[in-house]
Amino acid sequence: MAVWDRLVGQARAIELLDRAARDAHAPDTKSNSMTHAWLFTGPPGAGRSTAAILFAAAILCENFGCGTCSICKQVLNDQHPDVNRFIPQQITITRDESESLIREASVMPLTGDYRIIIIEDADRLSEVSGNMLLKSIEEPHSRAVWILCTPSVDDVLPTIRSRCRTLSLATPAWQEVSQLLIREGIEPAMAAYSARAAQGHVGRARGLATDEAT
């Protein structure tokens, strides 16, 4: 199962990200699909963080995100040394945290071709911590990739926004979420009920289905 099978209801986004990941493996291509900084936006449950992780796997995987190799499994399990997934634990991302992310981004890849920094809830960047990241996002080393996840483009500083390629995700239809749950082993009736009740929020639907099943 390719990694993209885990991203529900985002056909346009998958097409763009798959093309970018393939271009990342051929940096001399004339295509401009791949870039060093991305801003993934969308409402809660649309799959911003999931898309970021899957994109990281596709960039590093020799088969563009096969979903079964050791590289894909490491990325999906937050165990790959070249992928730093930062999940803020405070209301605001601090100066110290920004400095740490900048240091991480400056390190050359250890095993893969790229060093990938994922910032979930990047809307928690303050003006100070956001401006600290700006130069690193604007002028990273050639093997660094930044992926910022926020509900909307207005949630980050305009200076950061202007230096990122924006990818907008939408809330998937409940039917699509239901099919995902079925593929994950949930009984069809429970999958449909959970997807409807969660109103297309994938994580909430999965949690509801597994809670009800136990």
Question: Which two tokens mark 99?
Answer: 């400095």
| Over residues 21-39, mean pLDDT | 81
Report the C-alpha gap between 21 and 27 in whole angstroms: 10
Take residue 4 and report the two structure tokens written for it: 């993209």
The amino acid at residue 18 is: D
Average pLDDT, the chain: 91
pLDDT digits (tens, 9 = 90+) for 69-124: 999 999 999 999 999 999 999 999 999 999 999 999 999 999 989 999 999 999 99
Instruction: Please state, in angstroms and rounded to a whole number, the distance separating the CA atoms of residues 40 and 66.
Output: 22
Question: Looking at residue 29, what is its pLDDT?
Answer: 57
What pTM was computed for the model?
0.90
pLDDT in the model for residue 37: 95
